[in-house]
Amino acid sequence: MSIDIKTAAVEEKRITFDHIARKLGEGKKPNRYQEVVFGQQPEEVFHYRPTWDPERELYDVRRTAIQMQDFEDLLDPRQYYYATYVIQRSRQQESQEKNYSVVEKRGLLDNISDELKENIKKVVVPFRHAEWGANMNNFHISSYGFQTPIASAATMQGMDRLGNAQYLTRIGLILSENDPAILDEAKELWLHDPMWQGLRKVIEDSFVIEDWFELHLLQNYLLDGVFHPLLFQHLENHIVTRGGAAFAMLTELFIDWYAESRRWTDATIKVAIDESDQNSKLMQSWTEKWKPEVVAAAQRIADAVFADQSEEVMRSILDELDDRSRKLGLLN
Amino acid sequence: MAKNQRRLNLSQKYQLMTRGLDWETTYQPMDKVFPYDKYEGIKITDWDKWQDPFRLTMDAYWKYQAEKERKLYAILDSVVQNNSQQNISDARYLNAVKIWMQGVTPLEYAAFRGFNMLGRGFRGAGARVACQFQAIDEMRHYQTQVHAFAHYNKFFNGFNQHARIRDRAWYLSIPKSYFEDAMTAGPFEFITAISFSFEYVLTNLLFMPFVSGAAHNGDMATTTFGFSAQSDESRHMTLGLEIVKFMLEQHEDNVPIVQEWLDKWFWRGYRLLGLIGTMMDYMLPKKVMSWRQAWEIYWEENGVALFNDLARYGIRMPKHHETATREKYRITHEFWSTIYQFSHATALYTWLPDEEEMDWLCAEYGELFEKLYKPRYEYWRELDARGERFFQKRLPVVCNVCQIPIFHTYPDDPCKNICLVSEYKGTKHQMCSEGCKDIFDREPEKYCQAYIPPQQIYQGNCGGATLEDYRKWLHIRDEDAGEYYGSEDNQLWEKWQAEAARV
């Protein structure tokens, strides 16, 4: 026999706000994600033109060439709003923290070979600057992106990238036993070593892209789609199979994070492509424009790390990316 | 075996985690990467002098904030489960919450988007990161408010159409134009306006009365998000003070620019807060403190002390602060009288103070209230008793800057209406005060763009010429507006009270 606690029923006058009812259809109850991403961005009656962009309104659909009937369709399949986002990240952080302290306390990185240590110093640690670039780019998307679904998800993505940069910093500091020189050396490489200049150039070029959807495609799809597998799949595997198993404990979160964030990236790109041929052609042209540069930048790093296996590694990354692109309609 | 490592203190750890991340770009010029942080004329010689007030790493942020969110949402769920909307002091109180949802929650949203722009726009990495934290905090605030108010919307009027009237309604142009003014300015003016003038100087007059009012009036949902947001707010206040000191210390040429912004945003903020003061004095069935008292504590004591601290940088008190102080005895009464007459064109209910409230107002405001405003309310009460509840039939003249109907009186004569005029490119623009007129005259090109609701209505751009047309355009029903007594909210409340009494 089940026992129900009886609570007083109070008759409700309406289920939800008018704009949500218009969106979901009468009689439908919104979840908390829908409650906060629909209808929140002001739509009309803008009092003043921005002094920093006098040709456009404060919120202006024309800040991307992508056209949508409704930009609120660019939804996040994870349905993150602030509370679910911070709770999820805090959980992940808790388990990750244990990994970091185990590696740190037990000195698990001490015994790996010098060659692998060099890999971490010269490839993994400098990549913190690339994550920092991703932070800036996502804050461009969250600033000028149209409607709340893209703006809020890009804000969280931007904070994630700051988090990623800080995790990479920690890996460096664990390796160097808190000697900050390792960060300075990595920055030197980032700024001057030929191996990094391809990537630094693409990222600096991305800083001046105004179209927020183009930037989303370049940063969160192309750059992440090439560099995250390169570093946290292939390089990680390289280190792990050569006796650096502890390294996997430090980078596990990047693998999880990337798998999660690409769900959002793919969903938003797919919705925009499915909307019209025009969008689809535009995104293809952006891909054609940026992909060669991204690939060339990655190639330099792959050559330095994987030597004669570099071709194979890059092919595997690009096959996967092309596969993904075909599914989304970015590639015919 | 445990290792013996060089220990880093928190501040060193933070420095390393964040600070060294940025670099001087060479493939693209820095001025193109950061195109917006020079045109206002603020000179920054060394961004590294920026002291980050938060010193938060992401892992710490996620941890603290997740703990707060778990608690907050447990309580919001319990409000729903226990029908806590029935435990508030009186349904009149909810009109304060309606003003908040219609007018202030959109400001939280605007702050979210505005701080995103700064989080990308400032050249200094430390300043960017601080703004990014504030951006996501503000996102939190608008979201938790929508979630908290969603429950009231199920029972009471005036919440359901908030997304439409936020942009369209005449009285919500007051907060909307305020924030759009800041957002359409450059990044340094925005942060001076919002972080310093609003969050640091005036927040105690906005956030505290509202949350305290909620606590006094049994509104558990609002009280909880208010308390939960408080630790975020104190971080934001610190940012406000930090940025102003930073600008002033960086270059002496910044001082006059910052002073003009402080003048402008003090006045703009003060005018906006008149709406909150009115809520405190008239909409809270259980009072927290009067506007006059709040002004004395939070401005005349704390605010003035703060400006005295800034004197060493060459900053003086904001212009027209004496006028604001002189108006403390009258502003909320003039404001309430206006909302009372025009509430048929809002999604709010208004009412006349009852005997007990009239006594409280007399005690708080003294002779001026007894002489000027009480008789007006008594006259309206007589009309009401005859079945002729007073509503204004004409549209008001609205101030071209603050967007408030010009009900204001001369600083030295509360019986004489003020209306100041500036002419720009052959068009006359009306203002409510010297403060607003100064703002207009300094940037006429900006303010001549302002959307003035009554003019738009008369031009036929708001659904038609009649009140019914206008309300329809706003998606406000007759039942959502006007007199509280006899309204649907009032009837529902009475019904609940009667049911509770029977048990």
Distance from A133 to chain B by nearest Cα, in Å?
8
Domain count, chain B: 1
The pLDDT, as a whole number, for residue B2 is 44
The DSSP element (H or E) to which B421 belongs, if any, is strand B420-424
* Whether the predicted model's global pTM rises above the 0.95 cut: yes
The answer to whether residue A314 is domain-embedded is yes
Cβ of A44 within 8 Å of Cβ of B17? The answer is: no
The pLDDT, as a whole number, for residue A305 is 94
The DSSP element (H or E) to which B413 belongs, if any, is strand B413-417
Distance from B477 to chain A by nearest Cα, in Å?
13
Q: Which of A35, A97, A205 sits opposite B147 (nearest CB)?
A: A35
Spatial neighbors of B280 by CB under 8 A, at least 6 apart, are: B209, B213, B287, B288, B289, B290, B291, B294, B332
Hey, what are B428's tokens? 């006359």
Task: Tell me, yes or no, if B16 comes closer than 8 A to chain A by beta carbon.
Answer: yes
- Given a cut of 50, the residues of chain B with pLDDT beneath it are 1-2
Decide if B85 contacts B152 (C-beta within 8 A): yes
Decide if A234 contacts A316 (C-beta within 8 A): yes
The pLDDT, as a whole number, for residue B343 is 96
Residue at token pair 């060193």? B12
Q: Which of A13, A40, A48 sits opposite B154 (nearest CB)?
A: A13
Beta strands in A120-257 (DSSP E): none
Return phi, psi of residue B350, to 5°: -130, 165
Q: Which residues of A touch B6 (CB under 8 A)?
A: 177-179
Q: What is the pLDDT of residues A242-266, one digit of tens each?
A: 999 999 999 999 999 999 999 999 9
Distance from B162 to chain A by nearest Cα, in Å?
8
Distance from B432 to chain A by nearest Cα, in Å?
18
The answer to whether residue B351 is domain-embedded is yes
The pLDDT, as a whole number, for residue B235 is 87
Decide if A296 contacts A222 (C-beta within 8 A): no
The pLDDT, as a whole number, for residue B5 is 58
Cβ of A156 within 8 Å of Cβ of B17? The answer is: no
Nearest chain A residue to B183 by CA distance is: A50
Decide if B396 contacts B432 (C-beta within 8 A): no
Q: Which of A163, A165, A208 sits opposite B33 (nearest CB)?
A: A208
The answer to whether residue B47 is domain-embedded is no
Hey, what are A10's tokens? 């109070």
Decide if B360 contacts B287 (C-beta within 8 A): yes
- CA separation, residue B117 to residues A86, B80, B137, B148, B237 (Å): 22, 36, 14, 27, 19
Distance from B399 to chain A by nearest Cα, in Å?
13
Task: Tell me, yes or no, if B186 comes closer than 8 A to chain A by beta carbon.
Answer: yes
C-alpha B1/C-alpha A260 separation (Å) is 36
Q: Which of B21, B173, B449 sits opposite A132 (nearest CB)?
A: B21
Distance from B312 to chain A by nearest Cα, in Å?
31
Provide the 3-class DSSP secondary structure of residue B409.
Answer: strand
The answer to whether residue A195 is domain-embedded is yes
Decide if B481 contacts B348 (C-beta within 8 A): yes
Nearest chain A residue to B445 by CA distance is: A48
Say whether pLDDT at A23 is over 50. yes
Say whether pLDDT at A314 is over 60. yes
Q: Which domain holds residue A84?
A: 71-328
Cβ of A58 within 8 Å of Cβ of B183? The answer is: yes
The answer to whether residue A28 is domain-embedded is no
Sign of the dihedral defined by the CA atoms of residues A138, A143, A144, A148, in that order: positive
Task: Tell me, yes or no, if B185 comes closer than 8 A to chain A by beta carbon.
Answer: yes
Q: What is the pLDDT of residues A114-164, one digit of tens each?
A: 999 999 999 999 999 999 999 999 999 999 999 999 999 999 999 999 999
Nearest chain A residue to B158 by CA distance is: A17
Nearest chain B residue to A142 by CA distance is: B116
Decide if B202 contacts B250 (C-beta within 8 A): no
Q: Which residues of A touch B184 (CB under 8 A)?
A: 47-52, 58
Cβ of A187 within 8 Å of Cβ of B154? The answer is: no
Residue at token pair 């808190």? A178
- CA separation, residue A308 to residues A72, A120, A312, A314, B296 (Å): 47, 19, 8, 11, 76
Decide if B466 contacts B327 (C-beta within 8 A): no
Task: Tell me, yes or no, if B27 comes closer than 8 A to chain A by beta carbon.
Answer: yes
DSSP B288-300: ---HHHHIIIIII
The answer to whether residue A52 is domain-embedded is no
Nearest chain B residue to A209 by CA distance is: B33
CATH number, position B263: 1.10.620.20
Q: What is the pLDDT of residues B140-172, one digit of tens each?
A: 999 999 999 999 999 999 999 999 999 999 999
Say whether pLDDT at A24 is over 90. yes
The DSSP element (H or E) to which B431 belongs, if any, is strand B427-431
Nearest chain A residue to B474 by CA distance is: A18
Decide if B161 contacts A18 (C-beta within 8 A): yes
Return phi, psi of residue A38, to 5°: -95, 140
CATH number, position A234: 1.10.620.20
The answer to whether residue A37 is domain-embedded is no
C-alpha A329/C-alpha A264 separation (Å) is 16
Q: B172: number of CA atoms within 13 Å, CB side?
A: 28
Spatial neighbors of B9 by CB under 8 A, at least 6 apart, are: none
Cβ of B16 within 8 Å of Cβ of A183? The answer is: yes
Q: Which residue, among A51, A76, A156, A188, would best test binding to B if mutated, counting the most B CBs under 10 Å from its CB? A: A51
Q: Which residues of B touch A94 (CB under 8 A)?
A: 63
pLDDT interval class at A56 (50, 70, 90):
very high
Q: Which of A35, A44, A143 sits opposite B120 (nearest CB)?
A: A143
- CA separation, residue B496 to residues B93, B348, B501 (Å): 15, 21, 9
In total, the C-beta contacts within 8 angstroms joining chain A to chain B are 244
The DSSP element (H or E) to which B458 belongs, if any, is helix B453-458
- Single-letter amino acid, residue A271: V
The answer to whether residue B320 is domain-embedded is yes
The answer to whether residue B395 is domain-embedded is yes
The answer to whether residue B35 is domain-embedded is no
Provide the 3-class DSSP secondary structure of residue B287.
Answer: coil
Q: Which of A45, A81, A89 sits opposite B168 (nearest CB)?
A: A45
Residues 352-411 of B with CB under 8 A from A: none
Cβ of B155 within 8 Å of Cβ of A187? The answer is: no
Q: Which domain holds residue B338?
A: 56-502
Provide the 3-class DSSP secondary structure of residue B89.
Answer: coil
C-alpha A308/C-alpha A306 separation (Å) is 6
Chain-centre distance of CA B391, in angstroms? 27
Task: Tell me, yes or no, if B302 comes closer than 8 A to chain A by beta carbon.
Answer: no
Domain count, chain A: 1
Cβ of A17 within 8 Å of Cβ of B150? The answer is: yes
The pLDDT, as a whole number, for residue B375 is 97
Q: Which residue, among A140, A162, A202, would best test binding to B if mutated, counting the most B CBs under 10 Å from its CB? A: A162
Decide if A257 contacts A264 (C-beta within 8 A): no
The answer to whether residue B3 is domain-embedded is no
Beta-strand relationship, B413-417 and B427-431:
unpaired
Q: How many C-beta atoms lie closer than 10 Å to residue B166's C-beta? A: 25
Cβ of B16 within 8 Å of Cβ of A180? The answer is: yes
Hey, what are B41's tokens? 């004329």
Say whether pLDDT at A331 is over 80. yes
Q: What is the pLDDT of residues B360-374, one digit of tens each?
A: 999 999 999 999 999
The DSSP element (H or E) to which A117 belongs, if any, is helix A114-119
The answer to whether residue B20 is domain-embedded is no
Q: Which residues of A touch B146 (CB under 8 A)?
A: 35-36, 40
The answer to whether residue A235 is domain-embedded is yes
Q: Which residues of A touch B180 (CB under 8 A)?
A: 46-48, 58
Q: B60: number of CA atoms within 13 Å, CB side?
A: 10
The answer to whether residue B46 is domain-embedded is no
Nearest chain B residue to A174 by CA distance is: B5
Q: Which residue, among B160, B224, B459, B492, would best test binding to A if mutated, counting the most A CBs under 10 Å from its CB? A: B160
Task: Tell me, yes or no, if B84 comes closer than 8 A to chain A by beta carbon.
Answer: no
Query: How high is the mean pLDDT of chain A?
Result: 96
Distance from A329 to chain B by nearest Cα, in Å?
31
ipTM of the predicted structure?
A: 0.97
Hey, what are B247's tokens? 């600008």
